[in-house]
Structure 1
Amino acid sequence: MKIAMFGVTGTVGSVLLDSALAAGHDVRILVRSPEKLTARSPFLSVTEGDACDAAAVDGVVAGTDAVLSSLGGFRGPESLSIGTAAIMDSMARHSVRRIVIMQGFHLHMDGDPRNVGKRLIGPIMKTVGPAIVHHAAVMATAVAESDLDWTIVRAPRVVAGDPTGHLRTGRLKIGPWSTVTTGDVAAFMLDCLDNGRYVGAAPMIAS
């Protein structure tokens, strides 16, 4: 599969990129700082640029089969809304339908369980990362209202580690104390991409 990837130098993105290449995918990435990349492969195509640049995004998405995105975070939360909007526009232009997006479990979706952990994470994120909360909500609304084959994977605190083999998924009662390994996130996102799981849904995951 030819995959366009965004957010590949982050905690999750770097592991996701390595996993996608190891799985045999042909990967095209957009990255602001190519010198941060550690991945090397003849099946990796690197474009230097910003996800908020629609033209740069379009050049990466064109000719691919699907998109994986782990954009966002404290250093550039606006890419969640602006960058994802550019990706979606490009996908429509080039008839690319499948996108799998990684986000935090602070992102509220209809039908989420009302547990202590969910009630705690909202105020915490609004204090330490209000811009992330705002841009993630804008992004999720736009994605959910689109006609794309989308999945938004929502994770708690991500820690370094290989796939555990016992990942929990679905509408989970998790909290700020919950964790998931980078390996589990990458494996789950690729599984969603390969097998069409959770299309039109936003599952939570936890190791």
Structure 2
Amino acid sequence: MAFHKTKDGLKGIGQEIRVWSYSNCEEVELIVNGRSQGRKEMPRNSHLEWKVKYEPGYIELRGYNAGQLVATDRQESTGKAVTIRLKSDREKIKADNHDVSQVTVEIIDKKGRMVPTANNQITLKKSLETAEAMGYKSCMSKAYTGLGLTYLGLRKINEAKKMHKESLKIESELNSREGMARQHFNLGVLYNEQGDIKTAKESMAKAYILYQDIGKPEMAEYIQKRIEELNFPPD
């Protein structure tokens, strides 16, 4: 579907707009707020077009093969952009310097609907220092039609451990207790990945104490839960 129902950029209700459809179905039907605007035969290697009057609500395209409904695409009028939603194409990736996950960034309204007019600046921050953006030199970019895309990879665990130990040494020399806490936690995660539960708990316990000392109870509570998971891993 090459048009959306969000009003930003339009003159107002009643303005004539064009709705385009690209499909590999034999026929496509356009529905506007429950009213059919007609079913058309899909031309090969081209698109279909309807001219309709803008009104808030929803539009839906229905694809048919041999007269049977086989696909739908629906878009609704949305509210203002309020937050973002991340969607990964996989749950796990290997820490081997090669495997990557494709992460889609969606800018959504308060009802969880993607806002197609949003072009906000997006800044991504790594929560674990073994993670890195693959092939991009900046962690900032503008959304396009409410969407963004990034690729995330993981370094090999031994390389990551070496890096965090070096970072911990630097944070210690700078007397940055928050930085030390962060590195202890990241090391704990890596030790856990390697199956060294004892060392993982020791590293996380150091992070827990540091976060308590610097007045960040929410981080300390989060780490405490992670330590409990190490004591009683899920089945």
- The structure with higher relative contact order (CA 8 Å, sep 6+) is 1
Please indicate, yes or no, whether the TM-score normalized by the shorter chain is above 0.5: no
Greater strand fraction, Structure 1 or Structure 2: 2
Q: TM-score range with shorter-chain normalisation?
A: under 0.3
TM-score computed with the length of structure 1 as normaliser: 0.26
Greater helix fraction, Structure 1 or Structure 2: 1
